[in-house]
Structure 1
Amino acid sequence: MNKVIYFNKIVTVTMILTLLAGCGEATKQVETSPSNQNTASEDNISPNSSNKEEVKPVETTNQDSKEVMIDANLKKKLDTFFSNFSEVHLKSFEKDKLDDSSLIAFGIGHIMINNFKLIQLKGDKGYIKAEDVDEKALYYFGKKVNQHKNTGEYIFENGLYKITMASGDAYTFSQIDKLYDLGNNKYKAEVSVYTASSGYTGDSHGTIDEWRASGDEVPKLSNKVTATIEKINQDGNERYILIEYNMN
């Protein structure tokens, strides 16, 4: 009887040891099981990573430009240059998109204001040669009229533009505000356009404070213009031509 009890105790102890060993293995398996965490997270990127797409610098399309210091002589020169366009009410145009009608209107308007002696007078009518229009277009824009023709305002006949003489228009002029060097002899200009009465005799290169101090008429700011110009050299003489013109 004692042998049976002793045998049963041995069997019981053996079973307990077997169960304990099995639990230990199960516990070990749980502890070494792979995690479901996403290890591709940006927070886990190694500091030695060579992922170029992540560290590539931001690209920019802005072209660097340098502001040009404008002294009194350059200001006067550019004021006069841009006044040639504002006084004839030149419309905005993009680079390489200035049409013949605009060139014709500019040439005729410029001659009427600045080169009256080129006009052939017959009664209340005036006549301007196409070649004179071409000369002005070439001088200020670097190109001639492709085809001379009638426009909405002027009749073209026998190589001449017929115009109606008029006077008393408001006096319009420009002043350079800022100039930026774009490289390759090209510049971006910021320009203010002013308007005064037709009889204005003040200084078109003056400041608003100077106009007020003079006690005379103070011209009014009528427009802002952004333009691109190019410096060219012809027969040893430097001058500017207009490439692009945008009224704001």
Structure 2
Amino acid sequence: MRHVAVLVLLLVAGCSPEGDGPAPVGPSSTRNATVAPPGPSDVVHDPGAQLLDVRVSGRPGRRTVTSAWLLGRRRAIASSDDGFATTTYVRWSTRTARRYLARPQDARSAVGGRFGMAGLLAWAVPYVASPGRPRVAELGGGDGATLFPFEAVSRSDGYGWRSVEVPLVDGERGYVSGGVVLPDGRLLVLLDHWSGDRGGHPSPVWHGLWASRDEDWSSYAPLRPHVPGQEPAPEGSTWTGLSGASGRDGVAWLTSWDDRVYVSRDGVRWREMRVR
């Protein structure tokens, strides 16, 4: 009975028989609990995630859209062929990036001399919505470190290369962030930086899309398409990337400063496409 009385007193006092202090509040396991790292779907859908890359493939009405996202130091990929009603999420790795985001040869891994542009680097661009014999087009530029100077263009139909130099605009050189060849034969490029840019003060030259005036690709003019729902960037270019998929069913796609994606088959009419 004496031992029972002591135990009752300990419990009333809020102490455990083994310790000399108050009993811990709540489950003790919470002290050492670890928070699980975010999974691929968490990374993709986090409001703070940044769009890294995108691919659009397949036929009209059944497009497959694949996007890559960055959140802190974590990267993840989302892919869907039904407008993201259902989605495949995977962690970013060399293997998954190669599988889901395969792309033409990187700009700085191709030697322009192979394409009639000796001494320049080459960046492959696709012919979108283009049936028939496969054709190849390359943008050429010197070593611009993080930016790619738009200095020359070259193309081939399988019987040799035809190259032309790209002229300056008001004494400035544009830097290209992608390009596609449109069905009418014009070359569409995104020039989102210029040699006259200084710090936070962009050059007065148009930052955005430029299209060749005709099929010889020797002169260019600004292209300002109306894109429903798109908000202009506070300064500089609204667009951050231009790419596309070649072939009869291929489309061009634009990425914007606010991580939205728009697709087009003619470079004139653009519509937004979900990417997550």
TM over 0.5: no
Query: In which range does the TM-score fall when normalised by the shorter chain?
Result: under 0.3
Higher relative contact order (CA 8 A, sep 6+): 1
Q: Which has the higher helix share?
A: 1
Question: Which structure: larger Rg?
Answer: 1
Q: What is the TM-score with the length of structure 1 in the denominator? A: 0.25
Q: Which has the higher strand share?
A: 2
